[in-house]
């Protein structure tokens, strides 16, 4: 059953159309990613879902509620973690949790939540004294304290170091395992690939693709690339003659062979026949990055 | 209601963690009263002031000083900073409406201002023999009107200021002329006729005069009531029109 339905969403800021006819549905219990470069309209889209912005056109339902007509019921069911939202400098962690949990009809046990998030030792700390990662985790805790059915997490791991980012990913998996549906806004490919069941790729306000990460990769043809350093100079024609090879380029002392099908086998057979040893051999396959470039015509960053 | 109370308590707790704000808004006005009262000449009856003493004139001025600190430098900076930091936006994602936070901050400022009022009246009475207000209902009314006018102006500053710092700057620019007309440097009774006429039309000039009138046992003059209500309606209306949550 779809827990979020977005149909034909349009949002304009003056002359600029930030979101232009985006439609998707999010199923209960999945981690749904919204992927796109900065300024693509990802945040505007989720802000309309959260009821923070009024769409200019289109139809949104979250748990069957229209965010525009919400009288507080939706806010009980949806927890949101906003980009760049802070707390008062001198508010202590425990005070923030106590205050925010008092806003909800059925709050979760916030002490336990902080323990799970690794913030159990920071109860008496003031917000300004927390590290970037701790602030980010507190922000997640505040989004989850009302026991929401849907959590919208916007650029959750931006500004975190690689270890903190991996911890945050484990945490999201954990939250989903408790039955919370998660909408994850991100511009990190690795994050999207690792966490999301399905991904909506948004570019310049439009939905350009909607599929699982593996599905998106397979949309792009299965181009492969082989890099190696030949043990002696070789005639490129030996390789370009192969039906599997589409191009051969020299990059420093290395050759880069692009092609498809059983490329690796074809190339190594030719090398073996000519007694050439391939050093530093690497095979590169299509990634979500390549899929993104193919879908939008440019790299994400 | 329960949420408003909780937010007000939290905001008060946060306010009390700011030593500078606590000093200037809560401690400085009573200290100023004590300093002025320690000057022997200010405790002498002055025939030029209709037999009143300077310290008698200063009690209402010091009371509005505390209110002005809270309304013009505390409130706008607080609201604008909360907006700048996305605290109001975060609140918008919860079942609590951000306007409740605004209500909590107004309540907190009012509670702090009333605390100073009580402390100043008590010190003035006990240490310097300043009579307590004769007409208490009139005094409460005058004070309430003055609070409404000043908080509305504070909210207008918060609405127009681009940032927390900006709000602080606008607040301090308004601070000195407002208090000048309240009589902080020269009480209204000693002002030249023209200045006093201008002062009549400022929120603090009208406020101080109404407090003095009520202390002496008279209801505030219609002009002063109209001036304070006028500032409340105009500043409050503009604040409501231009307020931004983000």
d(Cα B113, Cα B106) in Å, to the nearest integer? Answer: 11
User: With contacts defined as CB-CB under 8 Å, which chain A residues touch B6?
Assistant: 99, 102
* Residue-averaged pLDDT of chain B: 92
List, in order, residues 6 or more apart from B208 with CB less than 8 Å away: B60, B61, B64, B182, B183, B188
Are β-strands A181-186 and A198-203 bridged in parallel, bridged antiparallel, or unpaired? unpaired
Contacts of B87 in chain A (CB under 8 A): 85-88
pLDDT in tens, B55-99: 999 999 999 999 999 999 899 999 999 999 999 999 999 999 889
pLDDT of amino acid B218? 94
- What pLDDT does residue A196 have? 94
**Residue A85: closest C-alpha in chain B:** B86
Q: Answer whether B2 sits within 8 Å of A104, measured CB to CB.
A: no
Band of pLDDT at residue A187, cut at 50, 70 and 90: confident
Q: Decide if A85 and B13 are in contact by the 8 Å CB cutoff.
A: no
Percent of chain B with pLDDT over 90: 78
Q: What is the pLDDT of residues A252-271, one digit of tens each?
A: 888 889 888 888 898 989 99
pLDDT at residue A50, rounded to an integer: 93
Q: Which residues have C-beta within 8 Å of that of residue A160, sequence separation ≥ 6?
A: A132, A133, A136, A168
The pLDDT assigned to B164 comes to: 87
The interface residues of chain B toward chain A in range 9-68, judged by CB-CB distance below 8 A, are 10, 13-14, 17-18
| Most A CBs within 10 Å, among B93, B98, B99, B245, to test the A interface | B93
Tokens of B71: 């309304």
ipTM, 2 dp: 0.87
Closest chain B residue by Cα to residue A82: B90
Domains of chain A: 2-218 (3.40.50.300), 221-285 (3.30.70.100)
Indicate the angle between helix axes B222-242 and B193-200, nearest 10 degrees. 50
The confidence score (pLDDT) of residue B132 equals 93
Nearest alpha-carbon partner for B52 in B200, B227, B188, B143? B188
CA distance A157 to A185: 10
Percent of chain A surpassing pLDDT 70? 98
Cross-chain Cβ contact A88/B87 below 8 Å: yes
As a whole number of angstroms, the distance between CA A181 and CA A3 comes to: 8
Residue B244 touches chain A, beta carbons under 8 Å: no
Name the pLDDT band for B245 (thresholds 50, 70, 90).
confident
Name the residue of chain B whose CA is nearest to A47's CA: B93
Chain B closest CA to A197's CA: distance in Å?
25
Pair of tokens at residue A27: 């199923």
Residues making up chain B, counted from first to last? 246
Q: Is B94 on the interface with A (CB under 8 A)?
A: yes
Q: Which two tokens stand for residue A1?
A: 């059953």
Separation of first and last alpha carbons in chain B: 25
A230 has which bridge partners?
A278
Exposed / middle / buried, residue A15 (Cβ in 10 Å: 0-12, 13-18, 19+) = exposed
pLDDT at residue A301 tops 70: no
Mapping DSSP to helix (H, G, I), strand (E, B) and coil, where does residue A201 land? strand
- CA–CA min distance B204, chain A (Å): 31
Q: What pTM was estimated for this model as a whole?
A: 0.83
Reported as a pLDDT band with limits 50, 70 and 90, residue A104 is very high
Query: From the CA of A119, how many Å to the nearest CA of chain B?
Result: 20
pLDDT at A107: 94
Taking the C-alpha atoms of residue A80 and residue A47, their distance in angstroms, rounded to an integer, is 9
Task: Determine the Cα–Cα distance for residues A220 and A295; give it in Å rounded to an integer.
Answer: 8
pLDDT in tens, A213-246: 888 887 776 778 889 999 888 888 888 888 888 8
CB contact under 8 A, B87 and A87: yes
């Amino acid at each position: 059953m779809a827990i979020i339905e977005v149909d034909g969403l349009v949002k304009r800021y003056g002359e600029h159309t930030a979101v232009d006819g985006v439609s998707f549905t999010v199923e209960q219990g999945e981690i749904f990613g919204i992927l796109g470069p900065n300024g693509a309209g990802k945040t505007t889209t989720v802000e309309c879902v959260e009821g923070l912005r009024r769409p200019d056109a289109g139809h949104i339902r979250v748990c069957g509620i229209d965010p525009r007509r919400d009288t507080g019921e939706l806010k009980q069911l949806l927890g949101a973690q906003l980009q760049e939202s802070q707390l008062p400098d001198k508010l202590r962690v425990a005070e923030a949790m106590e205050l925010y949990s008092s806003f909800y009809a059925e709050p979760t046990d916030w002490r336990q939540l902080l323990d799970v998030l690794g913030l159990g030792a920071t109860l008496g700390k003031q917000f300004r004294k927390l590290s970037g990662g701790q602030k980010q985790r507190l922000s997640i805790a505040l989004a989850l304290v009302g026991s929401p059915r849907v959590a919208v997490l916007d650029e959750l791991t931006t500004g975190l170091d690689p270890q903190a980012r991996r911890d945050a990913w484990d945490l999201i998996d954990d939250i989903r395992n408790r039955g919370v549906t998660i909408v994850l806004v991100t511009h990190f490919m690795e994050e999207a690939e690792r966490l999301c069941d399905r991904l909506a790729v948004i570019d310049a306000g439009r939905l350009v693709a909607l599929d699982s990460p593996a599905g998106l990769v397979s949309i792009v043809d299965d181009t492969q690339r082989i890099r190696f350093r030949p043990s002696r100079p070789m005639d490129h024609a030996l390789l370009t003659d192969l039906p599997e090879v589409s191009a051969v380029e020299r990059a420093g002392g290395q050759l880069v062979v692009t092609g498809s099908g059983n490329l690796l086998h074809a190339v190594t057979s030719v090398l073996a026949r000519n007694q050439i040893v391939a050093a530093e051999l690497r095979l590169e396959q299509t990634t979500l990055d390549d899929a993104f470039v193919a879908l939008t015509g440019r790299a994400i960053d | 209601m329960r949420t408003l109370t909780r937010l007000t308590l939290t905001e008060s707790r946060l306010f009390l963690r700011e030593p500078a704000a606590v000093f200037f808004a809560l401690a400085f006005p009573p200290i100023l009263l004590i300093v002025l009262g320690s000057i022997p000449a200010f405790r002498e009856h002055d025939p030029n002031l209709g037999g009143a003493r300077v310290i008698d004139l200063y009690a209402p001025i010091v009371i509005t000083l505390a209110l002005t600190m809270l309304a013009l430098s505390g409130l706008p900076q607080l609201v604008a900073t909360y907006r700048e930091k996305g605290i109001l936006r975060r609140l918008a994602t919860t079942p609590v409406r951000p306007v409740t936070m605004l209500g909590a901050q107004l309540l907190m400022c009012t509670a702090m201002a009333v605390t100073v009022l009580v402390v100043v009246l008590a010190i003035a009475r006990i240490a310097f023999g300043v009579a307590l207000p004769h007409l208490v209902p009139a005094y409460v009314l005058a004070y309430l009107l003055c609070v409404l006018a000043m908080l509305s102006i504070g909210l207008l500053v918060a609405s127009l200021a681009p940032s927390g710092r900006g709000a602080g700057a606008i607040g301090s620019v308004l601070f000195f002329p407002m208090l000048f007309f309240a009589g902080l440097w020269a009480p209204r009774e000693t002002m030249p006729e023209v200045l006093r006429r201008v002062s009549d039309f400022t929120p603090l000039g009208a406020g101080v005069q109404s407090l003095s009138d009520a202390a002496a046992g008279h209801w505030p003059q219609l002009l002063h009531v109209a001036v304070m209500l006028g500032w409340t309606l105009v500043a409050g209306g503009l604040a409501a029109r231009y307020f931004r949550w983000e």
